[in-house]
């Protein structure tokens, strides 16, 4: 997987996934693993976003939920837009996606990863106001401004990943996508690659973990009986600590390989680089799994979405079972009663609920027999006689 450096460049690294790998195992195992992570992670993040959207529609939203929804959106972009590029790269072992994808592949993934880390750090501020119940703790305007600033910074800092990415031909129809640092920019980029990982990963992750640990320590050591609201905020803080810790742990190999490659005298092994890239996408699958197992609001929201989907299907089946023209009144009454009972059960009411008036009406008129010489509607004949 090594490439020779030219006289006008000081660094060569692959962009969009490790290329020129040998062996059939990496060509099949890595793409299959990435596809599995994409499918499962995308489904989990979509469920989390739908749950938070449902909470906001029912006036149960909060700043923490809005920021966690932004984290889920960043993870969804990583899984749906960045991971497929790596799947194609590992399968083809060369670059076949064109020059524009080569220039933007690493830049866009870095922007999403940095935005996710900074958004998780911002949740500490939102959780502080939620736990302290401070008035004027912020609203939609604050959230929108914070997210706009985060994404602006996240898209600006990885610009060198966009500027120095280019295609290099290896044969008549074979290309590789590499990142090349010119000699004139070697010193500036050396300083940049020392500051960039610290600003975008190390400091935000350390701040987030330290804040949540401190908040949990203060909640545990607080004297007196804890109120229900305090216990709930402590649980939310624990969930945020787990999400932030999983994100930092799973991104650590990728940032370590990134720094090692750009500042070290040798490159990391190809196996370590591939393993670090796979963990990036595993890190996008971890937050929805943690939220759906530990966060009570998300767990109840997912259950409500599931019941709503299943009950809606049951409701369509009940509508398809309605009486057609030609059925007698007793059968129609039975269908009406069954449909009403099904609707009551879908809303959480007992299924044995009856309607006395309707039941009495149809019971008194069921299986009535009319004599041949008896007029079933005598009032119509009286009106004609008058």
Q: How many CA atoms lie within 13 A of 126 on its CB side?
A: 22
Place of tokens 């041949």: 372
Which ranges in 221-364 belong to alpha helices (H)? Answer: 228-263, 270-294, 296-320, 329-346, 356-363
CB 49 within 8 A of CB 69: yes
Q: What span, in angstroms and rounded, lies between the C-alpha atoms of 278 and 269? A: 15
- Parse the chain into domains and list their residue ranges: 9-294
Distance CA 333, CA 93 (A): 68
Contacts 24+ apart (CB under 8 A), 128-137: 128/211, 128/215, 129/63, 130/62, 130/63, 130/64, 130/233, 130/236, 131/215, 131/230, 131/233, 131/237, 133/229, 137/63
Only one residue has tokens 């996508």, namely: 177
The DSSP result for 77-123, as a single string, is HIIIIIHHHHHHHHHHSS--S-HHHHHHHHHHHHHHHHHHHHHHHHH
Task: Please determine, for residue 331, whether its predicted confidence score (pLDDT) is greater than 60.
Answer: no
Q: Judge whether 70 and 147 are in contact, CB under 8 Å.
A: yes
Q: Which residue, among 113, 305, 277, 267, has the nearest Cα to 204 in the 3D structure?
A: 113
Residue 225's pLDDT band, with cuts at 50, 70 and 90, is low
CA 110/CA 251 separation, integer angstroms: 11
Quote the pTM value.
0.76
**Amino acid 222: pLDDT:** 67
**DSSP states along 302-321:** HHHHHHHHHHHHHHHHHHHT
DSSP label of 124: H
Look at residue 145 and give its three-state secondary structure. Answer: helix
Contact 242, 234 (CB under 8 A): no
Domain 9-294 has CATH 1.20.1070.10: yes
Q: What's the token pair of residue 215?
A: 């908040």
pLDDT(114) > 70 = yes
Sheet holding 165-169, edge to edge: 9-14, 175-182, 165-169
Per-residue confidence at 150, pLDDT binned at 50, 70, 90?
A: very high
For residue 369, name the pLDDT band (cuts at 50, 70, 90).
low
**What's the helix, strand, coil split of the chain in %, to 5?**
70, 5, 25
Q: What is the pLDDT of residues 254-292, one digit of tens each?
A: 999 999 888 877 788 888 999 999 999 999 999 999 999
Q: What's the mean pLDDT when you consider all of the chain?
A: 80
CA of 274: how far to CAs of 19, 230, 277, 278, 351, in Å?
10, 43, 5, 6, 56
At 124 the pLDDT is 86
* Residues 144 and 199: beta-carbon distance below 8 Å: no
29-49: average pLDDT: 94
């Amino acid at each position: 997987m090594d490439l020779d450096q030219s006289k006008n460049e000081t660094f060569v690294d692959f962009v969009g996934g490790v290329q020129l790998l040998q062996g059939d195992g990496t060509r099949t195992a890595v793409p299959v693993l990435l596809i599995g992570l994409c499918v499962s992670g995308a489904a989990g993040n979509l469920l989390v976003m739908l749950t938070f959207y449902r909470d906001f529609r029912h006036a149960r939203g909060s700043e923490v939920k809005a920021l966690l929804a932004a984290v889920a959106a960043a993870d969804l972009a990583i899984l749906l837009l960045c991971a497929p590029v790596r799947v194609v790269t590992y399968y083809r072992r060369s670059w076949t996606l064109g020059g524009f994808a080569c220039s933007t592949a690493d830049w866009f993934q870095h922007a999403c990863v940095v935005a996710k880390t900074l958004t998780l750090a911002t949740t500490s501020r939102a959780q502080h106001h939620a736990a302290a119940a401070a008035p004027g703790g912020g609203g939609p305007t604050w959230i929108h401004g914070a997210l706009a600033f985060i994404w602006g910074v996240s898209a600006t800092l990885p610009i060198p990943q966009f500027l120095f990415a280019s295609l290099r031909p290896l044969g008549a129809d074979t290309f590789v996508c590499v990142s090349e640092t010119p000699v004139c920019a070697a010193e500036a980029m050396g300083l940049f690659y020392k500051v960039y990982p610290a600003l975008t990963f190390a400091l935000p992750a350390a701040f987030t973990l330290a804040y949540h640990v401190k908040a949990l320590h203060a909640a545990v050591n607080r004297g007196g009986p804890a109120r229900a609201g305090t216990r709930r905020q402590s649980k939310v803080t624990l969930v945020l600590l787990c999400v932030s810790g999983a994100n930092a742990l799973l991104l650590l190999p990728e940032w370590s390989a990134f720094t090692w490659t750009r500042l070290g005298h040798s490159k990391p092994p190809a196996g370590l680089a591939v393993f670090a890239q796979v963990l990036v996408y595993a890190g996008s699958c971890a937050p929805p799994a943690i939220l759906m197992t530990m966060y009570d609001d998300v767990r109840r929201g997912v259950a409500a979405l599931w019941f709503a989907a299943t009950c809606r299907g049951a409701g369509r089946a009940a509508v398809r079972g309605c009486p057609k023209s030609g059925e007698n009144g007793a059968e129609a009454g039975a269908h009406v009663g069954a449909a009403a009972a099904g609707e009551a059960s879908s809303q959480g009411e007992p299924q044995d609920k009856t309607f006395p008036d309707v039941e009495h009406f149809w019971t008194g008129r069921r299986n009535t027999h009319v004599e041949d010489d008896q007029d079933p509607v005598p009032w119509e004949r009286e009106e004609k006689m008058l």
